[in-house]
């Protein structure tokens, strides 16, 4: 009964340039840690092999040291690792794979398919039909040859490929690289292990995307797993179990505030954030000065707890109350400006000049409040 782990889209060497360095480095290191976790799971579950369905590396230009570290990491599981290149690390004439070979970094238990072929593991009861990418973008289905590929009688037939199942996935995945929606049925595969889609996704009873083992974007499509696959015999339905591998939890929040209770709810939600959370937060709506100060203070506390917080308050409109404005103690010219803006703000609802005045008053109040705070701290 063949039993294996299915994984893909490690993207080793990925750079997180949208984050500050003290966040980017741990996020990059987590990708290598995910490989360590996969090796441990392979040993723990006593699998026959690990299938890696492409995009092992994020780019052809990763450092030699990164290549060596990756292949050292997979030595945590001494059994077979079956790998194919994907669109990020395609098997070009000169590639990260040829460089790894020159470095002598490829271990003996690595079965690397740089061209489509059948890898025979009859001693373990299965054959692996592989469809590596030899360029970043292809427009022919590289799994089509699976349909007629012979394998030893009784061997479980496993397909390993990287690309987009046609008519099933969203249009904004990493690459075109088409895969026929009925490939597992037409090729009489017992299981088709796919990469390219970064979320864990079942296509049919025998076809799965494992997703990336370490989340790397704010899509919420269930990344952070490897799949444990068990097949009782040729033709038997596979048993597929998700095993958690991810370290960080990426979340995108959209928060709208209008009244104090909305602020309370948002702050309570922020209080639940932990050290493994990577947050992208957009706050919209309108709030008085006290509410804005509470939100900023809560975000500051959250930044100290979470792995990363990226907060966008540009859609949050400050509407200062009379008490807020009085507390500014603005006199002279500034006092006159504020009084004029308040008069215009009080105009007819929906009037453009009223909207502009309200926005300007909010900005001016925010600036003056920040200056007051800075002066008090000096």
What is the reported pLDDT for 230? 98
Buried b / exposed e across 254-278, counting CB within 10 Å, b at 16+? ebebeeeebbeebbeebeebeeebb
User: pLDDT tens, 4-45?
Assistant: 999 999 999 999 999 999 999 999 999 999 999 999 999 999
Residue, of 270 and 173, whose pLDDT is higher: 270
The stretch 292-314 carries a mean pLDDT of 94
Render 333-378 in DSSP notation, one character per residue: HHHHHHHHHHHHHTS-TT-HHHHHHHHHHHHHHHHHHHHHHHHHH-
Q: Using alpha carbons only, how large is the chain's radius of gyration in Å?
A: 27
User: pLDDT tens, 184-234?
Assistant: 999 999 999 999 999 999 999 999 999 999 999 998 789 999 999 999 999
Q: Which of 186, 130, 188 is nearest to 155 (CA)?
A: 188
Q: What is the mean pLDDT of the chain?
A: 90
The stretch 257-269 carries a mean pLDDT of 96
Confirm if 38 and 240 have CB atoms less than 8 A apart.
Answer: no
Confirm if 371 and 330 have CB atoms less than 8 A apart.
Answer: no
Give the Cα separation of 258 and 284 in Å (integer): 9
DSSP state of 272: T
Asked if the model's pLDDT at residue 74 lies above 70, the reply is yes
Asked if the model's pLDDT at residue 58 lies above 90, the reply is yes
Give the Cα separation of 208 and 202 in Å (integer): 4
The stretch 46-50 carries a mean pLDDT of 98
Give the Cα separation of 111 and 120 in Å (integer): 10
What is the reported pLDDT for 174? 45
User: pLDDT tens, 111-160?
Assistant: 999 999 999 999 999 999 999 999 988 889 999 999 999 999 999 999 99
Q: Residue 249 corresponds to which tokens in the numbers above?
A: 């939890």
Q: What percent of the chain has pLDDT over 70?
A: 84
Asked if the model's pLDDT at residue 362 lies above 80, the reply is no
Confirm if 3 and 47 have CB atoms less than 8 A apart.
Answer: yes
- In order of start, what are the domains of the chain with their CATH numbers? 3-244 (3.60.21.10), 249-377 (no CATH)
The stretch 330-355 carries a mean pLDDT of 65
């Amino acid at each position: 009964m063949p039993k294996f782990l299915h994984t893909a889209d490690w993207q080793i060497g990925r750079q997180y340039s949208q984050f500050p360095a003290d966040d980017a480095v741990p996020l990059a290191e987590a990708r290598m840690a995910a490989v360590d976790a996969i090796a441990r799971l392979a040993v723990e579950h006593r699998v026959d092999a690990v299938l890696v369905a492409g995009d092992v590396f994020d780019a052809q230009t990763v450092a030699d040291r990164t290549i060596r570290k990756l292949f050292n990491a997979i030595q945590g599981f001494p059994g077979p690792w079956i790998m194919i290149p994907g669109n990020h690390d395609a098997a070009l004439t000169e590639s990260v794979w040829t460089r790894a070979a020159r470095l002598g970094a490829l271990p003996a238990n690595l079965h690397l398919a740089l061209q489509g072929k059948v890898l025979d593991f009859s001693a373990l009861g299965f054959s692996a039909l592989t469809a590596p990418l030899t360029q970043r973008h292809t427009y022919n289905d590289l799994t089509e040859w699976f349909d007629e590929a012979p394998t030893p009688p009784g061997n479980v037939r496993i397909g390993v490929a990287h690309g987009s199942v046609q008519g099933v996935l969203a249009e904004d995945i990493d690459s075109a690289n088409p895969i026929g929606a009925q490939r597992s049925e037409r090729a009489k595969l017992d299981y088709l292990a796919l990469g390219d889609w970064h979320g864990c996704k079942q296509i049919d009873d025998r076809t799965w995307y494992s997703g990336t083992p370490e989340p790397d974007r704010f899509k919420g499509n269930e990344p952070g797993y490897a799949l444990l696959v068990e097949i009782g015999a040729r033709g038997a339905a596979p048993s597929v179990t998700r095993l958690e591998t991810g370290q960080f939890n990426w979340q995108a929040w959209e928060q709208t505030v209008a009244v104090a209770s909305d602020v309370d709810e948002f702050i309570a939600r922020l209080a639940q954030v932990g050290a493994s959370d990577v947050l992208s937060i957009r706050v919209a709506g309108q709030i008085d000065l006290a509410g804005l100060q509470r939100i900023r203070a809560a975000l500051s506390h959250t930044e100290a707890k979470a792995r990363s917080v990226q907060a966008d308050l540009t859609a949050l409109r400050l509407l200062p109350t009379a008490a807020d404005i009085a507390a500014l103690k603005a006199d002279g010219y500034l006092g006159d400006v504020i009084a004029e803006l308040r008069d215009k703000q009080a105009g007819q609802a929906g009037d453009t000049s009223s909207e502009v005045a309200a926005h300007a008053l909010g900005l001016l109040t925010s600036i003056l409040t920040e200056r007051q705070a800075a002066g008090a701290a000096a």
